């Protein structure tokens, strides 16, 4: 008989079995962690022939998939795609074409749509579409003959490209009425460079059509003709190398110059061209503003067509959700002798060929910055599948759907149902606004060499564009698309976050009155409005590498954190009141809530108002008065978290304490202003008197330095370096506030938040805000406080004015220092590509206070 194992053998076998089981479980967990850690973003680039697209995909860290993979995060095609393909995409996917964009990318469609807005779109040469407008063209030619004038016309195929089929005519009788052509007046007085005619290829990125978002790349290509230009006459009409600027045409000429530098050859960069304008004392800022206006007005004309086509492809997608489409467009623009831009055509599939080094440099930047702005994340696919599963369960169990009212329902039931629908509509719109705020914050951090031109930061310009957009929709929606028309006319689309919260609160109050409940005062509810919570900022700091898929603008993660904070708040509800330093505001006791740059009336203004009215400066805990407008806020409005409880009963001593606090705050503000007034910037290697003389010399010779400073600030410095210039001032301001106000974190100070808004305003539109302070044009930074709900004292305003002056002085000193360094290193032919020369180390500059 086989012997039974002894006790020790049993224990050994059991121990070995348990150890093996634990090892197996640990290996499974390790594999799961590794799988999550190595999640990748996939890209299907089978539809492109350009190598530069593959290079950009590799640099972004995306993984190329099989040619037949239709589930990739990014799909890139050189040509336009069918609408069926866009309709089949999942919400986490992105494709590089919009449906309906052909309304401005075909020459005949562009001319037809532009004729509806003759007063605004004066940047299109006069155009006739054959054969439909042949009679009008003949009548125009007869009128010219009667006036004894003769003009040259350029004839193009209706859907041509790359310069094929283009010719010039002066005898209009040669044109036939049955040909499908585009006939335009020829611009015979172009702006010449070295005697050659040229045009500009400007790159535009459209990331969304709902709402419309347009970005302009601050570089591009200058494409020159290869024969000296002469006004058209009968002898030179056939010399296309003189009259056409298309690269596909001129590259075949033996005089075409290929040069590796950006200031020579038949193809140059717009960056070089702006320096050329500056050298000739021409307004570079006006040049970019005119280009931006031309682009925005053109895309406003296309917006109704694109939005309607997009909605037809994505019928179940709610308004304001992430767009599955984006598009990089190539605008071909001609400048006349007065530097007025004229739109020639728009390419929805611009060439990304890299025959020369300048092509590689410019187009690589266009693609990389565009992919970073898209904010494609590794978690998009997983979250999309989870959302689909949750929606399927809701439909299965009938959750979230309102029961129909019976015909015999009472008026009370009908009113309740109306309030419920109104509340759901407001909550949905509030979520859209918050998503847009988060997107804008991501865009502001990852804009690179792009700058947002729609929606603009200038409120007057935005109102002008919105009027044009409303006119475009009225023309397009006349007699059709009733649902889209109702959505466009919905007043909620123009409301800010705070306005929607006020309406939600009113709905809650109406509902309580209808239910017969007594309206009791409520404390402020935890505030999750802004995605810039402490966790958000911590994650942003860790993920500062710049990859779009690791961006911190993830709405879903923010909402998950908000839910966790809400649960923690419920657990702490019955805990005793903790003692905290009383100079820390209620809104910042758990997480700093800052006003969003893109939402002037965000609900973080409520926290600021609380701090402005209730800011004791002693370290003893004190009771605060609750404001009535805050106390009545609904518990369902998802306000920001706070562990400080607010008393609902006032006592006489609290009013005196609050009044004393305000007086102390005014004294500290005056002391801050006095120190700001004595602050001076230190010039490396020079005394303070010499630094003052340098600034005075620049201002005395401002006519000479203006164009150079504009080129340095608006063109040569990207958004990151511009922010570093202002950070020199910002760091000094923070140290002053810490010293005077005796606080470790200046984020809790109302005054510092005002300064932050000023800094953000100075950086808007790629630094245009600060430049406006030099030339006294455009929107002043003070307009950000004109419609604000916050009250500003005279001392606070003077502090902000002094900060603007310090920023101006800082820019002038950095500009002068970099100019001196360039002169010592490279003489007259400075190397503008060397970023160490363009922008010196910020640590070399600082502000010092000289108090007597």
Confidence (pLDDT) at 361: 92
Average pLDDT over residues 726-740: 89
Q: Which of these ranges, 29-43, 291-305, 741-755, 825-839, has the smallest mean pLDDT?
A: 825-839
pLDDT tens-digit readout, 400-413: 556 666 777 777 87
Q: What angle do CA 817, 820, 825 make, to 5 degrees?
A: 125
**Which H or E element spans position 452?**
strand 450-454
pLDDT tens-digit readout, 148-161: 888 899 988 877 76
Confidence (pLDDT) at 117: 67
**pLDDT band at 695; cut points 50, 70, 90:** confident
Contact 213, 205 (CB under 8 A): no
Confidence (pLDDT) at 613: 41
Q: What angle do CA 249, 253, 257 make, to 5 degrees?
A: 105
Task: Give CA separation, 397 vs 277, 328, 393, 417, 468, in Å.
Answer: 66, 43, 6, 21, 46
To the nearest whole number, what is the mean pLDDT of the chain? 74
Encoded tokens for 15: 């121990």
For residue 91, pLDDT over 80 is answered with yes
Confidence (pLDDT) at 38: 60
Confidence (pLDDT) at 121: 60
**pLDDT band at 712; cut points 50, 70, 90:** confident
Confidence (pLDDT) at 850: 53
**pLDDT band at 18; cut points 50, 70, 90:** very low
* 358 CA to centre of own chain: 27
Confidence (pLDDT) at 432: 81
- For residues 838 and 74, the model is more confident at 74
- For residues 215 and 250, the model is more confident at 215
C-alpha closest to that of 333 among 250, 262, 245, 213 = 245
Encoded tokens for 765: 């539109």
For residue 342, pLDDT over 90 is answered with yes
Encoded tokens for 665: 């705050």
Confidence (pLDDT) at 216: 96
Average pLDDT over residues 192-213: 93
CA distance 538 to 592: 11
Encoded tokens for 207: 């990331």
Write the DSSP assignment of 632-690 as a string of letters: T--TTS-BB------BSS--HHHHHHHHHHHHHHHHHHHHHHHHHHHEEEEPTTS-HHH
**pLDDT band at 683; cut points 50, 70, 90:** confident
Average pLDDT over residues 700-725: 85
Contacts of 163 (CB under 8 A, 6+ apart): 240, 244, 246, 248, 249
Confidence (pLDDT) at 467: 87
**Highest mean pLDDT out of 44-58, 167-181, 585-599, 668-682:** 44-58
Confidence (pLDDT) at 94: 94
For residue 131, pLDDT over 90 is answered with no
- For residues 495 and 788, the model is more confident at 495
For residue 300, pLDDT over 70 is answered with yes
Encoded tokens for 458: 């200038």
- For residues 505 and 31, the model is more confident at 505
Write the DSSP assignment of 11-72 as a string of letters: HHHHHHHHHHHHHHHHHHHHHHHHHHHT---EEEEEE---HHHHHHHHHTT-EE--TT----
- For residues 516 and 382, the model is more confident at 382
pLDDT tens-digit readout, 207-245: 999 889 999 999 999 999 889 999 888 888 888 888 888
**pLDDT band at 596; cut points 50, 70, 90:** very low
Confidence (pLDDT) at 553: 41
For residue 628, pLDDT over 50 is answered with no
Average pLDDT over residues 591-616: 38
Q: How many CA atoms lie within 13 A of 498 on its CB side?
A: 16
Confidence (pLDDT) at 222: 93
Confidence (pLDDT) at 777: 55
For residue 75, pLDDT over 90 is answered with yes
Confidence (pLDDT) at 609: 41
Confidence (pLDDT) at 696: 87
Q: What angle do CA 175, 181, 186 make, to 5 degrees?
A: 75
For residue 809, pLDDT over 70 is answered with yes
C-alpha closest to that of 588 among 539, 526, 648, 630 = 526
- Three-state secondary-structure class, residue 294: helix
- For residues 748 and 320, the model is more confident at 748
For residue 417, pLDDT over 50 is answered with yes
Confidence (pLDDT) at 132: 86
Confidence (pLDDT) at 633: 40
CA distance 97 to 76: 8
- Three-state secondary-structure class, residue 268: strand
Average pLDDT over residues 23-36: 54
For residue 398, pLDDT over 80 is answered with no
**pLDDT band at 789; cut points 50, 70, 90:** low
Confidence (pLDDT) at 790: 64
């Amino acid at each position: 008989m086989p012997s039974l194992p002894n006790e020790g053998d049993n224990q050994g076998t059991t121990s070995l079995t348990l150890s093996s089981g634990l090892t197996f479980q640990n290996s499974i967990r390790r594999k799961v962690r590794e799988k999550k850690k190595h999640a990748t973003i996939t890209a299907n680039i089978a539809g492109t022939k350009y190598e530069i697209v593959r290079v950009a995909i590799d640099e972004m860290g995306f993984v190329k998939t099989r040619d037949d993979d239709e589930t990739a995060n990014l799909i890139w095609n050189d040509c336009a795609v069918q609408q069926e393909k866009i309709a089949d995409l999942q919400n986490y996917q992105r494709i590089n074409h919009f449906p309906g964009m052909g309304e401005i990318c075909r020459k005949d469609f562009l001319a037809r749509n532009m004729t509806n807005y003759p007063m605004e779109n004066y940047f299109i040469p006069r155009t006739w579409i054959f054969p439909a407008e042949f009679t009008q063209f003949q009548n125009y030619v007869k009128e010219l003959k009667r006036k004894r004038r003769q003009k040259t016309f350029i004839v193009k195929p209706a859907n041509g490209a790359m310069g094929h089929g283009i010719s010039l005519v002066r005898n209009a009788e040669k044109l036939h009425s049955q040909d499908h052509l585009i006939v335009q007046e020829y611009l015979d007085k172009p702006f010449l460079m070295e005697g050659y005619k040229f045009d500009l290829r400007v790159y535009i990125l459209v990331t969304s059509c709902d709402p419309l978002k347009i970005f302009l790349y601050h570089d591009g290509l200058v494409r020159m003709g290869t024969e000296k230009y002469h006004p058209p006459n009968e002898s030179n009409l056939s010399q296309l190398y003189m009259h056409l600027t298309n690269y596909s045409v001129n590259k075949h000429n033996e005089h075409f110059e290929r040069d590796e530098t950006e200031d020579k050859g038949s193809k140059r960069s717009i960056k070089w061209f702006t320096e050329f304008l500056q050298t000739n004392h021409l307004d570079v800022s006006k040049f970019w503003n005119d280009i931006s206006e031309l682009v925005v007005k053109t895309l406003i004309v296309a917006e109704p067509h694109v939005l309607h086509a997009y909605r037809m492809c994505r019928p179940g997608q709610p308004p304001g959700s992430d767009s599955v489409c984006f598009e990089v467009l190539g605008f071909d623009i001609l400048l006349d002798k007065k530097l007025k831009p004229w739109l020639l055509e728009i390419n929805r599939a611009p060439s990304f060929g890299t025959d020369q080094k300048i092509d590689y440099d410019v187009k690589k930047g266009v693609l990389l910055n565009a992919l970073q702005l898209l904010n494609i994340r590794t978690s998009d696919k997983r979250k999309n599948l989870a959302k689909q599963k949750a929606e399927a369960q809701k439909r299965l169990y009938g959750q979230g759907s309102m029961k129909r009212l019976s015909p015999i329902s009472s008026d009370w039931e009908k009113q309740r149902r109306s309030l419920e629908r109104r509340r759901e509509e407001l909550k949905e719109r509030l979520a859209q606004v918050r998503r847009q705020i988060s997107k804008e914050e991501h865009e502001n951090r990852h804009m690179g060499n792009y700058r947002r031109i729609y929606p603009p930061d200038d409120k007057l310009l935005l109102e002008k564009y919105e009027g044009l957009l409303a006119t475009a929709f009225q023309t397009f929606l006349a007699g059709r698309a009733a649902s889209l028309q109702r959505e466009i006319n919905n007043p909620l689309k123009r409301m800010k976050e705070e306005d929607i919260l006020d309406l939600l609160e009113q709905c809650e109050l109406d509902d309580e009155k209808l239910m017969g409940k007594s309206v009791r005062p409520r404390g402020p509810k935890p505030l999750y409005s802004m995605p810039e919570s402490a966790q958000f900022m911590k994650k942003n700091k860790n993920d500062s590498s710049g990859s779009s898929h690791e961006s911190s603008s993830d709405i879903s993660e923010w909402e998950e954190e908000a839910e966790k904070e809400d649960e923690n708040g419920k657990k702490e509800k019955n805990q005793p009141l903790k003692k905290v330093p009383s100079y820390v505001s209620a809104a910042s006791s758990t997480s700093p809530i800052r006003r969003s740059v893109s939402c002037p009336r965000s609900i973080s203004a409520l926290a600021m108002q609380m701090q402005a009215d209730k800011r004791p400066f002693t370290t003893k805990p004190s009771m605060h008065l609750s404001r009535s407008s805050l106390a009545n806020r609904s518990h369902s409005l998802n306000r920001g978290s706070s562990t400080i409880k607010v008393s609902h009963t006032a006592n006489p001593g609290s009013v005196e304490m609050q009044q004393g606090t305000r007086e102390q705050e005014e004294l500290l503000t005056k002391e801050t202003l006095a120190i700001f007034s004595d602050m001076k910037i230190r010039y490396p290697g020079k005394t303070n008197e010499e630094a003052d003389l340098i600034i005075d010399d620049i201002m005395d010779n401002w006519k000479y330095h203006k164009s150079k400073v504009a080129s340095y600030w608006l063109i040569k410095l990207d958004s990151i370096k511009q922010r570093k210039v202002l950070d020199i001032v910002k760091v000094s301001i923070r140290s002053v506030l810490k010293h005077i106000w005796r606080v470790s974190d200046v984020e809790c100070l109302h005054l510092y938040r005002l300064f932050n808004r000023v800094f953000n305003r100075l950086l808007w539109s790629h630094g245009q805000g600060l430049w406006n302070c030099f030339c006294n044009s455009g929107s002043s930074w003070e307009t950000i406080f004109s419609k604000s709900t916050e009250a500003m004292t005279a001392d606070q305003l003077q502090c902000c004015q002094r900060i603007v002056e310090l920023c101006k002085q800082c820019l002038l000193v950095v500009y002068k220092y970099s100019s001196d360094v360039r002169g010592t290193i490279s003489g007259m032919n400075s190397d503008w590509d060397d970023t160490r020369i363009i922008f010196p180390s910020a640590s070399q500059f600082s502000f010092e206070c000289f108090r007597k």
